[in-house]
Amino acid sequence: MQKSPTDKAVYSRSGIELKSFYTESDIPQEHRSRVTSNPGDAPYHRGFHPSGYRSKPWRIFQLSGFGKPEDENERIKFLLKNGETGFIMEHDRNTGDHCYNVDHPEVVARREDVGLTGAVMQSIRDTAICMDGLPIGSSFGHAGGAVVQHAPFALASYWTVAKQRGFDLEKLPGTGQSDFNLTYLGCVTKEQIPTQPGLRFNADIIEFCDRYLPYWVPVSIAGYNAADTGLTPDQELGVLFANAVEYLDEIRRRGSVDLARAARACGGVSFRASIEFIEEACKMRAARLMWADLLHKRYGISDPKVANLRIHCVTAGSKMTYQQPLNNIVRGTLMALGAVFGGVQSLGVSGYDEALSIPSEHAHQMSVRIQQILQEETGISNVTDPLGGSYYIETLTAQLAEKAWIFFDEIQKQGGYLAALDSGWLHACASENQYQEFMDMERGDQQVIGVNCFKDDGSPFEVDGFMGTDDAFDVATQRLKEVLRTRHEAGAASALKQLEADCRSDANIMPAMMEAMSAEVTLGEIGDVYRDVFGNWDTPIQT
């Protein structure tokens, strides 16, 4: 929220003008009837279930990963021991996001960076090390594969290891994200498949999970990645649903999966919880409202099991400051509070050292502790939708939904979500906002404690960053050689050939990907097939 003199208009982050207080008459007419609905009832803005967190606490779900697969495995076990209730297996960005093996020249040129933001997993042997002893049957696992081109590999390798260990895929819980906002908007890689084959990959994953992994969330649209790239809360909502209809329209076109089941599969999403936590709580409420509305109007779906959006939330990494990093513990707590007020099902809190590095063990532990204190000490779980009925909350919820639909429509005018990515239109929106935010801070219009006001004179280095391990590249190089030397070469070659053939045809690529995993085909070999078959996305650089 902007700091302004009393006579000046005040706006929320979404650009909604705020009154100094609200009364019943401010609640938009069409929203009034909804205010009296109960949590668990359509249109669900009041929450997923009437008993809320009493019957099901939110999942404590922290992003984690670095170094060698065994380093990552150790950290995940540490988090689980400390009370995390799901786990996330991050893959190294250099190799994973790009589908490169460690011997790729672009990776070798940056060998020291390897393993910095996730473990290097180039074949199922690596994945198996990372998964060693993890409670994959009972705990919700994130297999990695946040970037679209990486997802089929990350998922298939996780599933293959699970199968080899005797787990029944029919019962396996988890997700892999495969998010377009990350891939094509927030974290654009050096080279990657274009959006059209990306859409195909995600539809393939949805189909495959529908058939073989009913408890798996096949794709998870992340508003977070759009928001932390600069989109405002209303735009984050609009873009998320514009993305969702792209998936569902494709599934409808294919006609291979029951549309309601596909909608259920796409209804596990994530949002960013930023520091303006009241607006953020309203955003989660508006999201549920919008999803129910969208499914009903566009697809004729109103089954509560489908129309009830499940939300994972991550606190805003970009709001964590470099200066006075311990302040970030407070920021993380407030952002988490907003998410919980919004009734999310799952939550990750950024480490207080987020602006410095990937989380240290201590920062990670604090992120878990913040959530545990909220769950166990504050009593916040006792009552569902504690803010429901507030004039302000209900008004802002309705206004956010309305503004988000406008942005949704604008995206449709651009030719739809994929077209708005391909043309760079969304990047321009995000870039404009982030620049304005930056300038607001530079000018001091937006005060950030410890950054542009209440600064310390002393050294900012009261907390040191965490640098992981330094042998990830060497070990990965050894392991790559080892797998290439000892695998059954003819089997690997034929599996890779089948995968390529399927990529070139209209077939679902996942069965061939599963075969390729069993045959120990490596990540970089798969990436080479993609690059050959699909080419590179033409990144829309704004000039």
Binding site for other proteins (CB under 8 A): 93-94, 97-98, 105-107, 109-110, 112-113, 116-117, 186-191, 194, 228-230, 318, 321-323, 355-358, 423-424, 431, 434-435, 438, 441-442, 448, 451-452, 460-461, 463-467, 534-543
Q: How far is the CB of 239 from other proteins (least distance, A)?
A: 16
Q: How far is the CB of 122 from other proteins (least distance, A)?
A: 15
307-345 in b/e burial notation, b at 16+ Cβ within 10 A?
Answer: bbbbbbbbbbebbbbbbbbebbbebbbbbbbbbbbbbbb
User: How many whole angstroms separate alpha carbon 193 and alpha carbon 302?
Assistant: 35
* CB under 8 A, 24+ apart: contacts of 296-300: 298/245, 298/248, 299/248, 299/252, 299/259, 299/260, 299/263
Q: How far is the CB of 97 from other proteins (least distance, A)?
A: 7
CA distances from 325 to 357, 373, 424, 438, 462 (A): 11, 20, 34, 19, 8
Q: How far is the CB of 237 from other proteins (least distance, A)?
A: 20
- Residue 129: DSSP 8-state: H
For residue 192, give every residue at least 6 positions away whose Cβ sits within 8 Å of its Cβ, in sequence order, or none.
97, 98, 147, 148, 149, 183, 198, 536, 537
Instruction: Return the number of the residue (42 or 441) whose C-beta is nearest other proteins.
Output: 441
Instruction: Return the number of the residue (153 or 405) whose C-beta is nearest other proteins.
Output: 153
Q: How far is the CB of 149 from other proteins (least distance, A)?
A: 12
Six-digit token string for 242: 């514009």
SS3 for 342-404 is: CCCCEEECCCCCCCCCECCHHHHHHHHHHHHHHHHCCCCCCCCCCCCCCHHHHHHHHHHHHHH
Q: How far is the CB of 363 from other proteins (least distance, A)?
A: 12
Q: How far is the CB of 13 from other proteins (least distance, A)?
A: 16
Strand ranges for 200-326 from DSSP E: 216-217, 268-273, 310-315
For residue 360, give every residue at least 6 positions away whose Cβ sits within 8 Å of its Cβ, in sequence order, or none.
351, 353, 465, 466
Six-digit token string for 200: 């195909």
Instruction: Return the number of the residue (191 or 525) whose C-beta is nearest other proteins.
Output: 191
Instruction: Return the number of the residue (284 or 358) whose C-beta is nearest other proteins.
Output: 358
Q: Say which amino acid occupies 92.
A: D
User: How many whole angstroms separate alpha carbon 275 and alpha carbon 317?
Assistant: 10
**Helix (H, G, I), strand (E, B), or coil: what is residue 163?**
helix
Instruction: Return the number of the residue (360 or 522) whose C-beta is nearest other proteins.
Output: 360
Residue 59 forms beta bridges with which residues? 346
CA distances from 309 to 20, 44, 187, 291, 295 (A): 32, 8, 25, 7, 11
Instruction: Return the number of the residue (100 or 247) whose C-beta is nearest other proteins.
Output: 100
Q: How far is the CB of 158 from other proteins (least distance, A)?
A: 22
Instruction: Return the number of the residue (37 or 434) whose C-beta is nearest other proteins.
Output: 434
Instruction: Return the number of the residue (491 or 540) whose C-beta is nearest other proteins.
Output: 540
Q: How far is the CB of 439 from other proteins (least distance, A)?
A: 8
Backbone angles phi, psi at 473, to 5 degrees: -65, -50
Sheet of strand 268-273: strand arrangement:
59-60, 346-348, 310-315, 268-273
Host H or E run for residue 87: strand 86-88
Q: How far is the CB of 86 from other proteins (least distance, A)?
A: 24
Instruction: Return the number of the residue (25 or 459) whose C-beta is nearest other proteins.
Output: 459
Instruction: Return the number of the residue (401 or 430) whose C-beta is nearest other proteins.
Output: 430
> Cα torsion at 207, 211, 216, 219 (round to 10°)?
0
Instruction: Return the number of the residue (373 or 467) whose C-beta is nearest other proteins.
Output: 467
Instruction: Return the number of the residue (228 or 515) whose C-beta is nearest other proteins.
Output: 228
Q: How far is the CB of 313 from other proteins (least distance, A)?
A: 20
Q: How far is the CB of 183 from other proteins (least distance, A)?
A: 9
